[in-house]
């Protein structure tokens, strides 16, 4: 009924039924696995109202929900390295056998589990294997980012400020003073481009205690 392919290997035929509606595939040399594909063979579809959840078991850890299969979605690709499979486990050179589990359940149960998986954005840490929950930034974090952003803009544009309008330019005010300085509009585009490059190189740039 089900098939499984580890990227770079032959199709696995070692499907085992362990309960009425539960099957498993054993995955040898699991530490070297990056992606797997789990799929319906097409010979036996799910009964109306049923679908299946797909799980992964790493030795010494709990079952981890990967995704689902249904008649409408008969195959799925899952990335395991750095998520369900720890990247720093200390056993990379040991012949570890992991397990893929498939559980046929009512569609309502499958959809509930998938909704919970999506809403919490659960991922496995690439170093510890611990669950990480992605949450919205706190008010203090948002305020810190906004402050750094404004400081960055102020420091950049004021370095171009002039007390007199350059020759050939038209000022917006009839008289210039220390309180009313002149800024070319292109400075804001330069600031935007420069900051964009810094954030692209380091997404946490505005959260660091650096000289903005």
What is the enclosing helix (H) or strand (E) of 103? strand 98-106
**Residue-wise pLDDT tens digits, 81-93:** 766 776 655 555 4
What is the DSSP code string of 104-169?
A: EEEHHHHHHHHHHHHHHT-EE-TTT--EE---PPPHHHHHHHHHHHHHHHHHHHHTT-BSSPPTT-
Q: How large a percentage of the chain has pLDDT more than 90?
A: 29
> pLDDT band at 142, cuts 50/70/90?
low
Domain ranges of the chain: 2-132, 139-207
Helix axes 186-201, 139-158, angle to 10 degrees: 130
170 compared with 192, residue with greater pLDDT: 192
Q: Work out the mean pLDDT of the chain and round it to a whole number.
A: 75
Q: The pTM is what?
A: 0.55
Helices (H) and strands (E) in the chain, counts: 3, 11
**Cβ-contact 120, 49 below 8 angstroms:** no
What is the CATH code for 2-132? 2.60.120
């Amino acid at each position: 009924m089900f098939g499984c392919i580890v990227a770079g290997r032959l199709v696995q035929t070692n499907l085992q039924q362990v309960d009425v509606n539960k099957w498993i595939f054993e995955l040898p040399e699991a530490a070297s696995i990056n992606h797997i594909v789990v799929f319906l063979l097409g010979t036996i579809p799910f009964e109306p109202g049923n679908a299946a959840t797909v799980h992964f078991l790493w030795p010494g850890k709990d079952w981890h929900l990967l995704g689902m299969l249904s008649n409408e979605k008969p195959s799925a690709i899952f990335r395991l390295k750095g998520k369900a499979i720890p990247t720093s486990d200390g056993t990379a050179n040991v012949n570890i056998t992991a397990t893929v589990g498939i559980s046929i359940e009512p569609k309502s149960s499958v959809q509930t589990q998938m909704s919970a998986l999506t809403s919490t954005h659960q991922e496995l840490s690439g170093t510890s294997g611990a669950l990480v929950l992605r949450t919205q930034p706190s008010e203090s974090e948002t305020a810190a980012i906004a402050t750094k952003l404004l400081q960055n803009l102020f420091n950049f544009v004021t370095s171009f400020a002039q007390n007199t309008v350059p020759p050939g330019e038209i000022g917006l005010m009839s008289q210039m003073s220390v309180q009313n300085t002149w800024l070319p509009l292109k400075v804001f585009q330069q600031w935007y481009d420069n900051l964009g490059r810094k954030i692209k190189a380091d997404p946490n740039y505005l959260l660091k205690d650096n000289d903005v």
